[in-house]
Structure 1
Amino acid sequence: MAKNNLTTVTEFILMGFMDHPSLEVSLFLVFLSFYLVTLLGNVGMIALIRVAVQLHTPMYFFLSHLSLPDTCYTSVITPQVLATLATGRTVISYGCCAVRFFFFTICAGTEYFLLAVMAYDRFAAIRNPLLYAVAMNLRIRWRLVMGAYVCGVSGAILRTVCTFTFSFCDNNQINFFFGDLPSLLKLTCSDTRHIEIVIVSFGNFVIWANALVLLISYLLVTKAILRVKTLGDKAKAFSTCAAHLTAVALFFGTLVFMYLWSGSGKSLEEDKVVSVFHTVVIPMLKPLIYSLRNKDVKAAFGKVTGRFQVSQSM
């Protein structure tokens, strides 16, 4: 097989949905509706937390920052999918693929760390409610959030530089709907063993380190809740963690399936379905998870919309 140097590779071909041409219109409408709901939900959550004074608490501060990478996360992937389904053009330039990979990795990495930070925040709130506002003052909140962003960007730089310094062979067809790491590694004709060890080891470290923080935080949360005397207070404490635990289970569950169960006999179609769920569906569900059973969010939304209606009628 003739091999091309990295500098001669100018484009990749996304093959993700080419094996289902009869479903292109249906898939376009589904992806479009998911994307619009995601934008509305996450941007709406950020705006509501910003304008509603009763939501100016540490928990909602972190939630607003979680909504930001969720919005960017799906915005990196979904417009490309929609353009492919609408026009049938499956070609993506090498530079565009690298840029999308970089920003996708930033959003994913930042989200890992933000979920861990939010678990610690729930522990601080339940362990000592009276000192919660002091323990999670604005300065500490910003430090935790900026730490999550720095870690996300650092990881993205490492993975992007390592991945796009490989040489690629004649085959530039990515059998996926975006340039993800496993699909790109399959195309390279370089000796990737050493760099792949670095990438995979770093990725596993990030996932398991954050999973450990989440596990320890919620073990301590459970221990603190069990010390609460009344059943009503216990139920209230558990309810404050339920939404976050649901989001964590969805996010890390699909992540483990995609990246850590590589030798479990999964088919490519299963990978595609789970990846769509991870990158498109979960960012849409999170605002619903955090708001549907949340009395504070419902009350704030009612107050803001009521204030808007009054201002419109005047």
Structure 2
Amino acid sequence: MTLRQLRCLVAVSETLHFGRAAERCHVPQPALSSQIQTLEDALGVILVERTRHRVLMTPLGEELAARARAILRDVADFQAVAQRSARVFNGVLRLGLLPTLGPYLLPHVLPAIRERFGDLKLYLREEPAGRLRADLERGDIDAMLVSIDDGADRQALPLFREPLWATLPLGHRLVTAETLTASDLAGEELLLLEEGHCLRDQALAFCRIAGAREQASFRATSLDSLRQMVATGLGLTLLPALYVAAEGLDDPQIAVRPFDHPPTRLIGLVWRDGGAHGPELRDLATLLRSNLPDVVKAAR
């Protein structure tokens, strides 16, 4: 049994497709099939059911694929510990970010990161939270900046709270107000992001508090899409303060209003349990908190 065989097994279990699994493992499809067959022969069991039209994991195959993921995570951490040197993060940090956060936070913190960590090679990956968590578990990234719960454990450090602002079409009844309350949105329909974005879940939670509901005819793929739909008069939405500040939002077709008690999302730095870079990531969290723009409030 080899690590390559375990990687192939995990790839097949996650894609249920030999071609895509081979691409992920950077091997030809026949080579991947051979690795799976060799592993099955060595174990004396069937892990994958193959038909002309689809690939299915056997129950044992699913269980062993889950164990293989854990083994590969441990191996990645083992290698990271063994290779640690005087260079921070071994010279490379793979950081995941939410697409609703990264482009609007990074301009504020990247200069400080470059100054503090010198020639650190920073690789950034933007994906929704669910995909980032899977990337972290697989060892594809070292840490991620995502929304976290208030009761974050020792692998998640709170960084800041970001307010959400109401964004309204220009002719909306609430445009004349300087600030809004949650009850002002009672009965309103809000435009939201599509499934998979944690910002959608936070907006839905606020809708329940405010007595509002989702505008069911449209789901956006990005914050820009939400803004554009508001400008057309389709409805109102909630936008994060960093996005509002970064974009300026001088569109004559929309108005942005704060809440007197704004809904917020808590952003934190999260890393893998047992990962090799805990002390360095804590230093990074401190650095990030010290270089935040005024529109967000550092968490303590």
Normalised to the residue count of structure 2, the TM-score between the two structures is 0.22
Structure with more relative contact order (C-alpha pairs < 8 Å, separation 6 or more): 1
Task: Return the structure number with greater helix share.
Answer: 1
Task: Return the structure number with greater strand share.
Answer: 2
Structure number with bigger Rg = 2
